[in-house]
Amino acid sequence: MSGWQNMLIQSVYFLAAALFILGLKKMSSPVTARGGIVWAGVGMVLATLVTFLYPHLGNFGLIILAIMIGALPAWWFAKKVAMTDMPQMIAIYNGMGGGAAATIAAVELIRVTGGHSLTPIVQTLAVLGAIIGSVSFSGSLIAFAKLQGLMRKSLLFSGQQVVNLVMFVLTLVLGIIVILQGSGASIEMVILFFVLALVFGVLMTLPIGGADMPVVISLYNALTGLAVAFEGFVLGNAAMIIAGTVVGAAGTLLTQLMAKAMNRPLSNVLFSGFGAKGGQEATGEGVEGSLKPIDATDAAIMMAYAQQVIIVPGYGMAVAQAQHKIWELTKALTERDVRVKFAIHPVAGRMPGHMNVLLAEAGVPYDLIFDLEEINAEFEQADVALVIGANDVVNPVARTDPNSPIYGMPILNVDKAKNVVVIKRGRGTGFSGVENYLFYADNTRMLYGDGQKMAAELLQGMKVL
């Protein structure tokens, strides 16, 4: 290995690692976020280019072909995908990273069976990275399939947790055998080990319901980071160790923030199958009051003569693609000197901040958008709270009924507003399957219909006034 090559490679990796960290730092403020991703992107391009100078590197044609095959569809889909489908895109790209980490481990472990020796520590890290990367890969694919609607039902069967536990232990045991046998391990053993790890990823993700997917994707994101870091150890590559670990830690923190916002420990998200019963018809049993419908014209009048309106969007807005109409509605209200604010629950939508992205897409300035803590006290002064496609995150039983499965979850106190208008397609419950008492409250009116259509009708009603 010639000195200057190695020097150049290490310096560029060093620079890339610094750019990644600075980029992430910049991404944590809305003002500088745009620049942040560009910085990180520059680091990535530099690191990739310099890797071609790696000593004893062969298969150049294959490498370039593989990069082209990987890059073109990824670029195309990333450009085309609708903003509403972002969560599953992130899931699939993340899964690919996990899969890549697993393949690095696979190549290294197969080389070991061919007589190439690694120290036990390096081999252990390779195996750990292999398990984590494989689980992240197959798990993310399932998450993608669920969010894309390719897989409607959550698969639940009795003894599922036992089966999963057994699978996990089997994978671990096989991994340990691969480590202990070192170069004596057969190639079949290594292959079986990978198959088990992949199957475990599938089984682990299957029972988790759609509502919990944000947390799961975030977790897999952190896991992929960790897997990359471990494979970085194996290859002695500092850029991978640093970038992977930073993502692993940042992702873990994000996952915790999300789980906290749902007021559920992570273990509960992963192992309870809670969010799985979505979409059933509500029975309304045991709820006092009734559902009181309203039509769009009346709702428009109510809002037009209000002083303050708070709009609470949820996943229903994303499904209906109603964000553009909602922004037009907001502008129409602002022209009438109505103060309009947006209240976003941390887990509204299918990812944290999902609503913010959609609203930003429609052109809503981010200084009109408020977090739960910022806005909750304001509902009492609001004349109208317009709930569009949100359900569990505005359900007052989370405050009042200790027996409810969502009890203790922080919610937006929409019920405290003087009037509540709920745009909703049908009478179904939210993802949690819990009846929403807000809809039966005396100050609540239900505006049944598709979010986009209803928003357009509200706008129409506003214009004729």
Partner 1 sequence: MIEGFVALYIFMLAAFVGYEVIGRVPVILHTPLMSGSNFVHGIVLVGAMVALGHAETPLEQVIGFIGVVLATGNAVGGYFVTERMLEMFKSSKGGAK
Chain residues 64-103 in contact with partner 1, contact rule CB under 8 A: 65-67, 69-71, 73-75, 77-79, 81, 83, 86-87, 89-90, 92-94, 96-97, 99-101, 103
Task: Report the residue number, 153 or 336, with the smaller CB distance to partner 1.
Answer: 336
3-state secondary structure of 2: coil
Q: Does 294 bind partner 1 (CB under 8 A)?
A: no
Dihedral sign, Cα of residue 222, residue 273, residue 431, residue 374: negative
Alpha carbon distances (Å) from 274 to 35, 352, 431: 39, 19, 9
Q: Which residue in the set 29, 267, 280, 403 belongs to the binding site for partner 1 (CB under 8 A)?
A: 29
Asked if 383 contacts 308 with a C-beta cutoff of 8 angstroms, the reply is yes
For residues 333-352, which are near partner 1 according to CB under 8 A?
Answer: 344, 346, 351-352
Task: Report the residue number, 215 or 441, with the smaller CB distance to partner 1.
Answer: 215
Binding segment (CB under 8 A) for partner 1, from list 175-183, 226-234, 262-270, 312-320: 226-234
Long-range contacts of 119-126 (CB under 8 A, 24+ apart): 120/179, 120/182, 122/233, 122/234, 123/178, 123/179, 123/182, 124/179, 125/230, 125/231, 125/233, 125/234, 126/230, 126/231, 126/234
d(CA 311, CA 216): 28
Asked if 389 contacts 319 with a C-beta cutoff of 8 angstroms, the reply is yes
Q: Does 148 bind partner 1 (CB under 8 A)?
A: no
Q: Which residue in the set 5, 7, 8, 28 belongs to the binding site for partner 1 (CB under 8 A)?
A: 28
Q: Does 59 bind partner 1 (CB under 8 A)?
A: yes
DSSP-based helix, strand, coil % in the chain, nearest 5? 65, 5, 25
Q: Does 160 bind partner 1 (CB under 8 A)?
A: no
Q: Does 21 bind partner 1 (CB under 8 A)?
A: yes
d(CA 323, CA 330): 10
Helix axes 33-51, 3-27, angle to 10 degrees: 160
Q: Which residue in the set 184, 265, 289, 363 belongs to the binding site for partner 1 (CB under 8 A)?
A: 363
Task: Report the residue number, 18 or 156, with the smaller CB distance to partner 1.
Answer: 18
Tell which residue, 315, 340, 328, has the closest CA to residue 391.
315
Q: Which residue in the set 15, 27, 189, 192 belongs to the binding site for partner 1 (CB under 8 A)?
A: 27
Binding pattern for the stretch 366-405 against partner 1, x by CB under 8 A and - elsewhere: xxxx-xx---------------------------------
Active-site annotation holds for 383: no
Binding segment (CB under 8 A) for partner 1, from list 58-66, 151-159, 295-303, 409-417: 58-66
Q: Does 247 bind partner 1 (CB under 8 A)?
A: yes
Catalytic residue chosen out of the listed positions 85, 212, 367, 392: 392
Q: Which residue in the set 202, 249, 301, 319 belongs to the binding site for partner 1 (CB under 8 A)?
A: 249
Q: Which residue in the set 60, 286, 426, 464 belongs to the binding site for partner 1 (CB under 8 A)?
A: 60
Q: Which residue in the set 184, 365, 400, 442 belongs to the binding site for partner 1 (CB under 8 A)?
A: 365
Q: Considering the complex, what minimum distance in angstroms separates the CB of residue 102 from partner 1?
A: 8
Any residues with CB less than 8 A from the CB of 380 and at least 6 apart, and which?
413, 416, 417
d(CA 129, CA 104): 9
Tell which residue, 428, 425, 429, has the closest CA to residue 448.
425
Residues identified as active-site:
392
